[in-house]
Amino acid sequence: MPPPHLNSELKIKVCGLTRWEDAELALELGADYCGVIVYPKSPRAATRQQAWELCQRIPAGKRVMVDVNTGADELENWADLGFDHFQIHCDIDVNLATLAAWRGIVGKEQLWLAPKIPPGEAFPQTMLEFADTILVDAYHADKYGGSGQTGNWELFAEWATLYAHKRFVLAGGLNPDNVTEAVRVSGAETADVNSGVESQPGIKDHAKLRALFAALGR
Ligand SMILES: O=C(O)c1ccccc1NCC(=O)[C@H](O)[C@H](O)COP(=O)(O)O
């Protein structure tokens, strides 16, 4: 049973998968989405072959490509592998033509935008017309994701309430010890876990994965 204060509809994305055995366990435990990072500078980047194999085996509807400032041609190439959702990290001043190109290639419903929002910055509202899902990650000056740092859960709750017509995903430093508190405070309907359930970048720790889903009552 999930802890009583937790949304029973909570969805979990396990990100940074490179191996089928990790994805398989995550799915058995109840993961709703499997994230495959294709950004070459990430220590968790999957090769095209690994991404293809994972796309073959992860059930349709659950396959999320994760990248940074993807070029249009590259995005078309990744889409060919069969991903269902496309999480693209970008800066808040990304140009509107780029956002429109991403939306044109994968569709607004499949595009998950992850703007890198420095502390104190207003939410980049102009992005809302391009994607139905917004991922709010912890800010890190030198990284676009996978920092292991937690974000501002209260601010997440504010933004998710203010823009309730969009789906907001909470990311950043979630692990078996803090996930229930993070979800309670933020009110997140979807939460993303990555380095908090790893043994090393790109390799999931099965005990931590089990502990995370157990904490959520799954
Ligand atoms: O994880 C990465 O290495 C990464 C690199 C560049 C862009 C995005 C990346 N990860 C995207 C995710 O969805 C992560 O799960 C998210 O940033 C949270 O990571 P963590 O703080 O390790 O839980």
Atom of ligand 1 nearest to the CA of 45: 3
Interface predicted TM-score (ipTM) of this complex, two decimals: 0.99
* Angstrom distance (rounded) from CA 132 to CA 115: 13
Does pLDDT of 8 surpass 80?
no
For residue 86, tell me if it sits in a domain.
yes
Its domain, for residue 120, covers 11-215
pLDDT tens by residue, 112-122: 999 999 999 99
Residues with CB under 6 A from ligand 1: 15-16, 35, 37, 39, 42-44, 66, 68, 89, 137-138, 144-148, 171-174, 192-196
Q: What are phi and psi of 168, to 5 degrees?
A: -105, 135
**Number of domains, the chain:** 1
The rounded Å distance from CA 80 to ligand 1 centre is 23
For residue 92, tell me if it sits in a domain.
yes
- The whole-number pLDDT of residue 4 equals 66
For residue 5, tell me if it sits in a domain.
no
Question: Mutate which of 36, 37, 170, 199 to test ligand 1's pocket (most atoms within 8 Å of Cβ)?
Answer: 37
For residue 123, tell me if it sits in a domain.
yes
For residue 162, tell me if it sits in a domain.
yes
Query: Residue 6: which pLDDT band, with cuts at 50, 70 and 90?
Result: confident
For residue 94, tell me if it sits in a domain.
yes
The rounded Å distance from CA 194 to ligand 1 centre is 6
The rounded Å distance from CA 100 to ligand 1 centre is 24
- CATH number at 94 reads 3.20.20.70
The sign of the dihedral angle between the CA atoms of 104, 92, 7, 20 is positive
For residue 4, tell me if it sits in a domain.
no
The residue nearest atom 19 of ligand 1, judged by CA position, is 146
Average per-residue pLDDT for the chain: 97
Interacting residues of 99 by C-beta distance below 8 A, sequence separation 6+: 113, 127, 130, 131
Mean pLDDT over residues 189-198, rounded? 98
